[in-house]
Structures are given as C-alpha cells and as structure tokens.
Amino acid sequence: MSNDVALLDLRLRRRSMIGYTVGMAVYAFVIVALYPSFRNDTSLNQFTENGSTVAALFGANGPLTTPAGWLNANMYANFVPLVVLLLTIGYGGSCLAGQDEDGTLGLVATLPLSRRRIVLEKTATMSLQAVPVCLVTMLCVLLGQGFDLTVPLTGLVGVTIGTVLLGIEFGALAMLIGAVTGSRGAAVGLASTIAAAAYLISSLAPVVPWLHPARFASPFFYAVGDGQLTDGLSVPDAAVLLAVAAALTGACLAAFDHLDVH
Amino acid sequence: MTTPVVVVDGLTKRFGVRRGVSNVSFEIMPGEVFGFLGPNGAGKSTTIRLLLGLYRPDAGRMQVFGLDPIGDGVAVRRRVGYLPGELALYPRLTGRQHLDRFAHVRGLSDLGLRDELVERFSAELDRPVRALSKGNRQKIGLVLAFMHRPDLLVLDEPTSGLDPLLQDEFQNLIRETVADGRTVFLSSHELDEVQRLVDRLAIIKDGSIVVTDTVEGLRRAAPRTIQFRFAAAVDPAPFAALDRVRVLHCADGRISLSVTGSVAPLLRAAAVLDPVDVTARPADLDELFLSYYRATPGDAP
C-alpha cells in the first residue's frame, strides 16, 4: 500500500519538524546541563512548598531539586507538551481544514483515494509530528546521567510515550474540528483552548482541592500529570489516551466524509 | 444504445438561499466534447465538484461511467482527469515533485505520455511552483489532468493564463483526445474556444441550466439579420406576418428583419416586391450566448 499522502505532508512539514526538534534538543540539553548547579539549592524548593498555586500554574509540584522534580518542572509538565501540541495541533488544523482553505486538499481528494484513506494517512503523519521532539528530549535526558540527573528508564520511556500520545490526542481533536467546520482557525483555536483548559486542570488539581476530582477529565493527567516520570506510564493511562485518540479519529472519518472539499 | 459517460439528473446543492445549483440535468455521451458555459458564479464549478465527489449533493442523481461519484468515488476518479478552475498547487514543491507524487498515487508506470505533455506545453518542472507564472502553473495542471490518459477529462477554464500558441496546442490535444474515443467536459468562458471545440453544450445561469443543445442547433436558432432594399416604400405587414420573422426597421424602401429558422418564406415574400438589393449577416453565437446569460432561467432569449 502506498502512502503518498503521508509522505507528501511530511515533506511539507519537514522544516518545522526539524526546527522544533533542534530547538527542543538545545533547550533540553541546557536544562540537563544546568541541573548540577541547582541540585543543592534548597531555596528552590520553597517555590513549590505549601502547595503554591503559582508554581502549579507553571507545572511545578513537589521538590524541584530531585531529578524528576527538575525535569517535570522544566520540561515534561509544561514545555515538552507545549511544543508537541504546537506541532500536532498545528498540523491537525492545517492538514484537512487548512489545506481545504488553500485549495490543495482538492488536488488530493480528486485522486483515486478514499476519504478514509486520506484521513488515516494524515492521522499517521500527525502522530509522527510528535515523535522526533519527544525522542530527542529523551536522548538529552539520558545524557543527563553525566550531570547527576538520573531518572528511571521506565519512567523516562513512559513519560515520552505519554507525551506522544497526548500530542496525538489533541492533534486528532484539531483534525476533527477541522473536518467538521472546514476552518483552520476554528480547528487550531478550539483545540488549543481545550488543551490550555486541560493543562490548567491537570497542573492545578494537586493544589486546588475542588479541582482535584476533575483531573481525570484532563488528558495531561494520563500523559504527564500522574507521576509518569518516576513510575512509568500505566497501561490504563495509555489505554485512556489511545481510546480517546481513536474515538476522535473515528469521528473525524465520519465528519470528513461529509465535508465539501473545495 | 450507447450509455452516457455522465448522467446528471435533478442535481441540487445549495449554499445559503441564493448560491449553489438547482435541479441541474444533462448527459454527456462517450467521445464528445461537452461545453459548460455560464457567467461567473452561475454554478459551473459547483456542478463539476459535485460530479467529482468533492461536494455532497442535497438532492438529485449523478452517475459517471455508470457509477456513483460518492459511493464509488475511487473507481470514478481513477478514470477521470481534472483541472480545477482555481488550480492550487503546493507552493514549495516543484512541478516535477508534483508530477512524480501524483503519478505514483495513480500507479502510473508508463511516463511516456507525461513526458510528451511536458515537452508539448514546455512545462517548467524544476522551479518551486511559487516562483512560476499563472500560465506555467496551468501547464503543470494540464499535465496532471492528462498524464494518465483518463477516459473523462473534466476541465474548468483550462486555457486560463495560456498564451495563444499554447491555447492552439491545447485545442489540438482536445481533438486528439476525442479522436481516441475519450470524453471531455469543458467549462469555459472563451466562446471562441467553445465554438471551435465542443459538440454539445449546456448554459447555466443562477444555478439552473437554461439551454442544452448542439452548437449547430444553437447556430440554427440564432437570429440572423437580413436587409432588403426596394425601389419604393414597402408595407412591412406581409413580413411581420411570417413565422419566426421580426421586423426591426422599415423606412425609405429599406427593411431590416431578424430571422430564425429557414429564410425561404421570407425570400418568397420579398421576391414578389422586386427587391433591388439584399444583405445578410450570419448568426452571431457570441450574442446568442450573452442573451442566454442575460435571460432568466426557463426563458428563451
């Protein structure tokens, strides 16, 4: 089976993927390399003491001088998901609705390809958007062993997979909104807003009692917000992320089948 | 009996109250060039997109090669070559990258025709599309539409941006295509091009078909102007009484008449009055098309 639609879109997104990956590698390396300078700075932990909501807003919970606390506060609870979501929501909004607005989707939709095939190939491309950034971050963290920054490998792999799945889930949401509305702006805007709300719920839930039960409604909780960096990604957490992504993709297949392509 | 390549029956697609197409019906037979004319916004591109399965219709029936363009869309599109009215290519890719990728999707192993078309239209393949003029982009669009030797070509304003030499080359290509037994559905603004190329045509206005006929049929129906000069003043009444004859002007022994259909009854009526001179202007198809454009749907011009 050929995968020309996926290859075509990967070709078109090549520059942004490389740019984000290189940028993330530099950022992750700096964070890792800075750790020895902060590991004994106990004053840093005051930032998150007593359940500071401001710290929680930035994704920082618990002691920051431990390897996991340092990586979570500087990368996995905020920056890595943000970059991954920029890529997957950006592509999710553009691959159907955006390309329809540009007129290029019409070129593809008049080829002998089913709409189902087009959506599935674009979903695969969207999923791949998340991988290089997460992989390069993981590699940089592995290098961190040379900087006294050691986290369990299962945790590192778990949070990496969780972040990829988180990106896929919101990318699929952007694709669905794009397929329903035919508008790139609506797709990117709505998916980003929902992601921001989900991030707030997951990051504030540990310190805001009335939000605590709502954490189960946030994909961030299942991906990065439940101790994945130390404990790994549990099968139920992964299953929730996969199931939601699959449901969104199914809805996108149905919606795209009814979309008027220009 | 020959089966039509395209059957459209009562096709309706609305975008709001005023836009879209309503109750459009026509058939295209194998091996013919079917013209599709109409002013901007009349519904030409909407009808084409419906036929290709890009739009979902609100009502009506369509068949291409006896198949449903939506349910059997893959099979239909495998046999169709399409050039959109507003061709959008990927700006950063070159023409060659477009052709290679699309040929691969179509499973095209013999690239001979593609290369021949590239040479014929002098298509520029090695620069990014964003650096190309409209005409050069259009050439790539034409190659994309023709390169897999489709049984049905759906061409929406195909010569837009092409210079006159290439317009001639395009017309040759269309003639070769139908000589090969294949079918062309040609939407165009170029009335000259339509008159030279198409066998039958439909005119669409405000989303509805106002006429479907052969070019020859339309030409027969088109009014010709005939002027007689007599030695003395004549009474216009015998002329006005003739069927399909209209008196345009009558004074000083000169009478101008508009005639549709056969001129024989008119010539007989004039002959008994001993005309001194006669001039006739041939049917003006451009004017006829424009009168259809101006007419309200359902009315003859």
Tens digit of each residue's pLDDT, chain B (301 residues): 689 999 999 999 999 877 899 999 999 999 999 999 988 889 999 999 999 999 999 999 999 999 999 999 999 999 999 999 999 999 999 999 999 999 999 999 999 999 999 999 999 999 999 999 999 999 999 999 999 999 999 999 999 889 999 999 999 999 999 999 999 999 987 788 888 899 999 999 999 999 999 988 888 778 888 999 999 999 999 999 998 888 989 998 999 998 887 889 999 999 999 999 999 987 767 778 877 887 654 455 5
> What does the pLDDT read at residue B299?
52
- Residue A48 in contact with residue A55, Cβ under 8 Å? yes
Q: Note every long-range contact of B117-121, with CB atoms under 8 Å and residues 24 or more positions apart, other chains counting.
A: B117/B142, B117/B143, B117/B146, B117/B147, B117/B173, B118/B143, B120/B169, B120/B173, B121/B166, B121/B169
CA distance A243 to chain B (A): 29
Contact B105 A4 (CB under 8 A): yes
> Which residues of chain B have a Cβ shorter than 8 Å from any chain A Cβ?
49, 52-56, 73-75, 77-78, 80, 82, 84, 86-90, 92-93, 97, 101-102, 104-106, 144
Helix, strand, coil proportions of chain A in percent (round to 5)?
A: 80, 0, 20
Contact B49 A103 (CB under 8 A): no
Contact A112 B104 (CB under 8 A): no
Range A196-206 average pLDDT: 94
Q: What's the pLDDT tens digit per position in A41-91?
A: 877 777 777 667 777 777 777 778 899 999 999 999 999 999 999 999 999
Q: Which residues of A touch B88 (CB under 8 A)?
A: 102-104, 106-107
Cα–Cα distance, B140 to B159 (Å, whole number): 12
Q: Which residues of A touch B106 (CB under 8 A)?
A: 111-112
What DSSP character marks residue A220? H
Contact A111 B54 (CB under 8 A): no
Contact A2 B105 (CB under 8 A): yes
Best of A3, A4, A10, A107 to disrupt the B interface (most B CBs within 10 Å) is: A107
Residue showing tokens 């106990």: A42
> What does the pLDDT read at residue B219?
81
A234 Cβ contact list (under 8 Å, min separation 6): A226
pTM beyond 0.95:
no
pLDDT greater at residue A147 or residue B142: B142
Q: Which residues of B touch A12 (CB under 8 A)?
A: 90, 92-93
User: Among B55, B82, B105, whose Cβ lies nearest the Cβ of A113?
Assistant: B105
Contact B88 A102 (CB under 8 A): yes
> What does the pLDDT read at residue A152?
94
Q: What's the pLDDT tens digit per position in A95-124?
A: 999 999 999 999 999 999 999 999 999 999
Percent with pLDDT over 90 in chain A: 84
Q: Which residues of B touch A8 (CB under 8 A)?
A: 90, 101
> What does the pLDDT read at residue B24?
97
Cα–Cα distance, B202 to B26 (Å, whole number): 8
> What does the pLDDT read at residue B296?
58
**Phi, psi dihedral angles at B24 (to 5 degrees):** -85, 130
A/B interface, count of CB pairs below 8 Å: 65
Residue of A29, A237, A18, A253 lying closest to A128 (CA atoms): A18
What DSSP character marks residue B280? E
A256 Cβ contact list (under 8 Å, min separation 6): A96, A115, A118, A119, A179
A14 Cβ contact list (under 8 Å, min separation 6): none
> What does the pLDDT read at residue A51?
67
Q: How confident is the prediction for chain A on average, in pLDDT?
A: 93
- Residue A238 in contact with residue A246, Cβ under 8 Å? no
User: In Å, what is the CA distance from B225 to each residue of A72, A90, A91, B195, B248?
Assistant: 88, 64, 62, 20, 9
Q: Which residues of B touch A260 (CB under 8 A)?
A: 49, 54-56
Contact B73 A4 (CB under 8 A): no
Cα–Cα distance, B171 to A258 (Å, whole number): 36
Helix, strand, or coil here: B119?
helix
**Phi, psi dihedral angles at A54 (to 5 degrees):** -65, -45
pLDDT greater at residue A218 or residue B190: A218
